[in-house]
Structure 1
């Protein structure tokens, strides 16, 4: 745990060799091109049908969208980010003591990718991770420092889950699915801290990936919603490959919320959406198999997606 970037990286003048990304995977000089085309959907504007239409269009064309006027208070969002920053600003021994006590109870603090996946380079980030639904089951394993962590993170994750369910409902309605076709899962919170990096052009906070599960992360006043790979399997939706870059000016903290899919869940195209003109691109698989393949192939999401493609589709 003494290897947490947050506890030693501020004194660096150069990037340690283990964090240098292979040249073909580096972000390069153009670190974070900003796309103004990512749809921003106002959840308070227009009727439900028009909002669903916008969500479906974004999910099919971009695989990524933002939502504004979503009902989660701006103050709660800011407080949640701030308490995450406070956690990673604590003395190293405080974080070490916390992790030592709680890492086997569902709460983890780690650098890079932790035990999930293997890379030939280190990821420039620290992460605090823990389950948070149902809240009454997990609150006792939340960090008790900094003061206010539990009192802020609890209400925040409750509101985020409500928003996530609302969006999932609208996506399913847009696909013509009924409640019999889907259910709701547990919620996992990850707070990522990306310390200031001495060479952002040669490092990555998160390498290119498509998440296997549904999640949403905070960004200013909006929530960013990527379509997951497991949803793309259902046909008519597109998952977007995305990555996280670093910067040299300051550290950055982001909150990511995952709607977890049980490992024994069968992921397959919804039969009512399959037709001769719209055949499935991926075969059925259990989430456990997907995770095993993903982490067994150096966390390369594109290679993993290809693995699950139906051969006739893979050749097209």
Structure 2
């Protein structure tokens, strides 16, 4: 528990173990504030579905990210889940201690940085992570404090899963795949994380999260009105402007592979600030660990897939190491042309 960065509020400077090498520090990199990721109105589902599919598909190809407004998840639920997530990290240490673990196999787990024991540099972030589908199999292992945590996060996880699967169906249509292609094993697992980024004495020296792309299928992130997320496009970091009650949606590696490279699992990172904390709640849709992954046959022309077939757990086993070593996890699964 003493490793949690949120428990070290007395820090006047960035500890040496959190300082990035000079060439990778965010203070050295220019960020564009004039261009950002597309904002898509989900209300079009009932008025102009074809246009909605076109916008989602184009954003997923060009940026790998978009923000979604008027998505149907109630505003009060969004506010409640964010407030409860923040309350969790404000609890006394003794109320969180039983959840802290450095064992990635623990189901409901509170931890800090990414892989504190093995990583060369730590990251300015604490995380609560747990599975949430099927809800009845996991909810009894979630935090009991705050008192309404299970009720609020249970309702939220159901709503955000429903929205994620709807988006996957729309992406199916945009790619020319059969409706329901991503059902079953391909979208079986849902993980929920609440990330807490405390104020940092010198944001130019460290990151909340390093440059990476998500391993999973699709990610829906709910964020406060605090800047932090940045997306890489054309070798330029774009600051993602927080939009009230919007979801930030991004494409994971599995969607890029299944789409045979038509969609982009864009790199992104999180910067810190020295004034206020930042909290996010993120839902990840994953395949089952034993799911067979390969480019969709309908998208492979003339038997020319870009990626080799594999079992999902095998990809995951090398993903963290590759990311930490700044190697694209996709490279080992690409066919050499």
> Could you tell me which residue of structure 1 aligns to residue 24 of structure 2?
25
Q: TM-score, normalised by structure 1?
A: 0.91
Q: What is the RMSD computed on CA atoms of the aligned residues? A: 2.2
Q: CA deviation at 1:296?
A: 2.8
Structure 1 position 166 matched with structure 2 position 166: yes
Distance in 2 (alpha carbons) for counterparts of 1:98 and 1:283 = 38
Inter-CA distance 224–118: structure 2 relative to 1 (3 Å threshold): farther
> Could you tell me which residue of structure 2 aligns to residue 282 of structure 1?
307
Q: Kindly report which structure 2 residues correspond to 1:1-316, keeping only aligned pairs within 5 A, or say none.
A: 1-8=1-8, 10-28=9-27, 33-34=32-33, 36-45=35-44, 46-99=47-100, 106-114=107-115, 118-179=118-179, 181-183=181-183, 184-213=187-216, 214-219=218-223, 220-233=244-257, 234-235=259-260, 236-276=262-302, 279-300=304-325, 302-312=327-337
Inter-CA distance 285–24: structure 2 relative to 1 (3 Å threshold): farther
Distance in 2 (alpha carbons) for counterparts of 1:245 and 1:178 = 39
The answer to whether the Cα contact below 8 Å between 1:31 and 1:201 also exists between their aligned partners in 2 is: no
Q: CA deviation at 1:262?
A: 1.5
Q: CA deviation at 1:129?
A: 0.6
Distance in 2 (alpha carbons) for counterparts of 1:133 and 1:263 = 14
Inter-CA distance 250–54: structure 2 relative to 1 (3 Å threshold): same
User: What runs of 5+ residues in structure 1 fail to find an aligned partner?
Assistant: none
Q: Secondary structure of 2:195's match?
A: strand
Q: CA deviation at 1:207?
A: 0.8
Aligned residues: 308
Q: TM-score, normalised by structure 2?
A: 0.85
The answer to whether the Cα contact below 8 Å between 1:131 and 1:138 also exists between their aligned partners in 2 is: yes
User: What runs of 5+ residues in structure 2 fail to find an aligned partner?
Assistant: 224-243
Distance in 2 (alpha carbons) for counterparts of 1:269 and 1:300 = 26
Distance in 2 (alpha carbons) for counterparts of 1:30 and 1:58 = 24
